[in-house]
Amino acid sequence: MIILEATVITAGYSKLDILKEVGIRVRDGEIVSIIGPNGAGKSTLLKTIFGLLKPRHGRVMLQNRDITGWSPDKIVKEGISYVPQVDNIFTSLTIEENLEMGAFIRRDDFSGRLAEIYDLFPMLAERKKQKAGQLSGGQRQMVAMGRALMLDPQVLLLDEPSAGLAPNLAAMIFDKIKAINKTGVSMIIVEQNAREALKMAHHGYVLAMGKNVLDDSGKALLTNKEVGKLYLGG
């Protein structure tokens, strides 16, 4: 079953089109990775899906609902959460307050969900009273992901989760991503670390200059000669 689909998306900032008829499809339970050079429009695509940008053309469908042009606060209620590339935590708040902020629209008791997030990220539980601004890059990324998970989304959008992290911390984040996916959350991940992103992906997309270049299973893209030469370092 297709859970999320964006079709022939044309979108950009002011009058300039960045995305040109881009499409992406996520099946229920999948990790879909998007790779491509700087400026390809990867972040712009996530922003468009999440309603931060209104597409000039095209549609975004979540299951059978057309959510094109909806505001982010409405989209989040429908089950999509988004972790932006930068500025994705409240540095002056504690870890726990950050997680509580993630549940801001929940009217019910979310203590059970909070406990699940702490199970997934034990390090966050150990330091829950610490200010998020004092944390390392890898720890901040866990806070950001934990916050996005508080609403128990169907689909999680992650923009460059391993950016700026040392290899061991990046590996830890990738393990967490796989663990989150195993709980049934479908995901779109934008990554500079194309090799790792494709390794964990059920399906992958290559974007360049605002257009779809190629899409295939993660495995097939990993062994694709062109992808190897351009994005996997040989």
Ligand X SMILES: Nc1ncnc2c1ncn2[C@@H]1O[C@H](COP(=O)(O)OP(=O)(O)OP(=O)(O)O)[C@@H](O)[C@H]1O
Binding site for ligand X (CB under 6 A): 13, 18, 36, 38-44
18 binds, among ligand X, Mg ion, none (CB under 5 to 8 A by kind): ligand X
Nearer to ligand X, 42 or 140 (CB): 42
- For residue 122, the tally of other CB atoms under 10 A from its CB is 10
Nearer to Mg ion, 42 or 147 (CB): 42
Say whether 74 sits in a helix, a strand or coil: helix
Nearer to Mg ion, 42 or 203 (CB): 42
Please give the DSSP secondary-structure letter assigned to residue 131. B
Least distance in angstroms from the C-beta of 219 to Mg ion: 25
44 binds, among Mg ion, ligand X, none (CB under 5 to 8 A by kind): ligand X
Least distance in angstroms from the C-beta of 168 to Mg ion: 23
Among 43, 68, 94, 154, binds Mg ion (CB under 5 A): 43
Distance CA 222, CA 220 (A): 5
Residues that bind Mg ion (CB under 5 A): 42-43
